[in-house]
Amino acid sequence: MVETRKALKLLREQGYRITTPRRQVLGILAEAQRPLSPYEIQDMLKEKGEYLNHVTIYRVLELLCSLNLAHKVLLAGGFVICSLGESRGCHRFVVCRECGRLKEYASEALCAEETEMAEQLGFRAEQHFSEFSGVCATCQK
Amino acid sequence: MVETRKALKLLREQGYRITTPRRQVLGILAEAQRPLSPYEIQDMLKEKGEYLNHVTIYRVLELLCSLNLAHKVLLAGGFVICSLGESRGCHRFVVCRECGRLKEYASEALCAEETEMAEQLGFRAEQHFSEFSGVCATCQK
DNA sequence: GTATTAGTGCAATAATATTGCATTTGTACC
DNA sequence: GGTACAAATGCAATATTATTGCACTAATAC
Ligand SMILES: [Mn+2]
Ligand SMILES: [Mn+2]
Ligand SMILES: [Zn+2]
Ligand SMILES: [Zn+2]
């Protein structure tokens, strides 16, 4: 996981301010380690007695995603913190179709394969995001 | 593309009725060949002087997706008709981040790679859906 | 501490999605 | 072709999610 601390550092470097809402959202995502919707994030903050307007949450998430500090995971319908510090252009997820649990990983091999495929289809691949679904260890029982 | 005719046949075989709304939605998706949201589908029908309640559209799409006759393409935020007749468990998309254009394809190699990856992460892969983004031929200019 | 302006909250509105129930329509059977 | 039955649709109400403009707040630089 890109720890919260490093994420904040990166924000600074990019010229963004370190604000309470940004800390809070990053904190929640880091704890959760599963996809959360904007309103779920709001609810989890409420449980701690903290409050954020949903508009703010949307805007924070938009920023985090633009910097690849978080991702919108579409199969699971929510946002997760990026768990790969390094791999700039490659962010992949397996999502359990039962429980929604997910894992992020990166793969050179897949990138190569996809890039080739893309070319055949007339596309130039840039960022590799992929998601696919399966059944996690727990749910296989 | 799974032509509309074949899709309807499959519906019958599965015990579903061939209804006007189902024909209409399939027709629109087949023409469009790009992701359409439920409300976009409704709008396109209106232009033909046809009307469908949005609830019906949601329900039709749900059915089509459950049978893999259509897919929800998440990066592009809409539904497309499946353009691969055969490949049951493998449906992949490249989506242009500029214009939203997309192509569906299948790949044995990617499936193998992902299945292996999944196992390492404790998942059992079943259906392979993946999406990744790039820039299409047109938008590269 | 003060000035500057990025960032937040609020209120209003828009867009999208879901549910229960009455009505219609597709299909099987005659 | 007509009829019976269940599946599918439409409607109305409601819930949820997302977006916008603007006034106010607070993070940073000095
Ligand atoms: Mn990542
Ligand atoms: Mn397909
Ligand atoms: Zn699971
Ligand atoms: Zn394009």
Q: Residue B2's pLDDT band (boundaries 50, 70, 90)?
A: low
The reply to whether B10 and B55 lie within a common domain is: yes
User: What b/e string do you get for B38-61 counting C-beta neighbours within 10 Å, with b at 16 or more?
Assistant: bebbbebbeeeeeebeeebbeebb
Task: Report the pLDDT value the prediction gives residue A141, as an integer from 0 to 100.
Answer: 77
The crossing angle, in degrees rounded to 10, of helices B54-66 and B38-47 is 120
Task: Report the pLDDT value the prediction gives residue B88, as an integer from 0 to 100.
Answer: 76
The reply to whether B121 and B73 lie within a common domain is: no
Task: Report the pLDDT value the prediction gives residue A86, as an integer from 0 to 100.
Answer: 66
Q: Determine the Cα–Cα distance for residues A88 and A80; give it in Å rounded to an integer.
A: 16
Strands lying side by side in the sheet with B102-105:
A124-125, B128-135, B90-96, B102-105
Q: Determine the Cα–Cα distance for residues A99 and B53; give it in Å rounded to an integer.
A: 32
Measured in angstroms, what separates residue B9's CA from nucleotide D2's C1'?
27
| CB proximity B97 to A under 8 Å | yes
Compute the half-sphere exposure of residue B36: CA atoms within 13 Å on the CB side of its CA.
25
Domain boundary (B61, B81, B101) is at: B81
The domain spanning residue A101 has which CATH number?
Answer: 3.30.1490.190
The reply to whether A10 and A68 lie within a common domain is: yes
A vs B, Cβ pairs < 8 A, gives 107
On the question of pLDDT at B61 being above 90, the answer is: yes
The reply to whether A14 and A52 lie within a common domain is: yes
Q: What does pLDDT average to in each consecutive run of 10 residues of chain A (141 residues)?
A: 84 97 97 93 97 98 96 89 83 86 91 92 88 86 77
Residue B133 amino acid letter: S
Task: Report the pLDDT value the prediction gives residue A74, as an integer from 0 to 100.
Answer: 83
Domain boundary (A57, A81, A105) is at: A81
The reply to whether B49 and B113 lie within a common domain is: no
Average pLDDT along chain B: 91
Closest ligand (CA of B94): 4
DSSP state of A136: -
Task: Report the pLDDT value the prediction gives residue A2, as an integer from 0 to 100.
Answer: 59
Measured in angstroms, what separates residue B51's CA from nucleotide D7's C1'?
20
The reply to whether B69 and B95 lie within a common domain is: no
The reply to whether A128 and A73 lie within a common domain is: no
What global pTM score does this model have? Answer: 0.90
Among residues A74, A48, A76, A45, the alpha carbon closest in space to that of A60 is found at A45
C1'-nearest nucleotide to the CA of B53: D10
Q: How many residues does chain A have?
A: 141
Q: Residue B120's pLDDT band (boundaries 50, 70, 90)?
A: very high
Question: Which strand (E) or helix (H) includes residue B130?
Answer: strand B128-135
On the question of pLDDT at B105 being above 70, the answer is: yes
| CB proximity B107 to A under 8 Å | yes
| CB proximity A31 to B under 8 Å | no
The reply to whether B58 and B10 lie within a common domain is: yes
On the question of pLDDT at B14 being above 90, the answer is: yes
The reply to whether B8 and B77 lie within a common domain is: yes
CA of B110 to the centre of ligand 2 (A): 15
On the question of pLDDT at B129 being above 90, the answer is: no
- Range with lowest mean pLDDT among A66-80, B15-29, B79-93: B79-93
The reply to whether A53 and A94 lie within a common domain is: no
Q: Determine the Cα–Cα distance for residues B122 and A115; give it in Å rounded to an integer.
A: 26
The reply to whether B59 and B97 lie within a common domain is: no
The reply to whether A101 and A125 lie within a common domain is: yes
Task: Report the pLDDT value the prediction gives residue A99, as an integer from 0 to 100.
Answer: 80
The domain spanning residue A51 has which CATH number?
Answer: 1.10.10.10
Structural domain count, chain A: 2
Compute the half-sphere exposure of residue A54: CA atoms within 13 Å on the CB side of its CA.
5
Q: What is the 3-state secondary structure (H, E, C) of B13-50?
A: HCCCCCCHHHHHHHHHHHHHCCCECHHHHHHHHHHCCC
Mean pLDDT for the stretch of residues B22-35: 94
Closest ligand (CA of B101): 4
CA of A88: how far to CAs of A105, A129, B53, in Å?
Answer: 12, 11, 44
Phi, psi angle pair for B61, to nearest 5°: -60, -40
Determine contact, residues A38/A54, Cβ cutoff 8 Å: yes
Determine contact, residues A10/A3, Cβ cutoff 8 Å: no
Among residues A91, A46, A40, A45, the alpha carbon closest in space to that of A67 is found at A91
- Domain holding B135, by residue range, is 90-140
Mean pLDDT for the stretch of residues B101-124: 92
Q: For strand D, give the nucleotides within 7 A of a protein CB.
A: 7-13, 16-21, 26-28
Task: Report the pLDDT value the prediction gives residue B3, as an integer from 0 to 100.
Answer: 79
Continuous H helices in chain A: 4-13, 20-32, 38-47, 54-66, 108-120
Q: Residue B97's pLDDT band (boundaries 50, 70, 90)?
A: confident
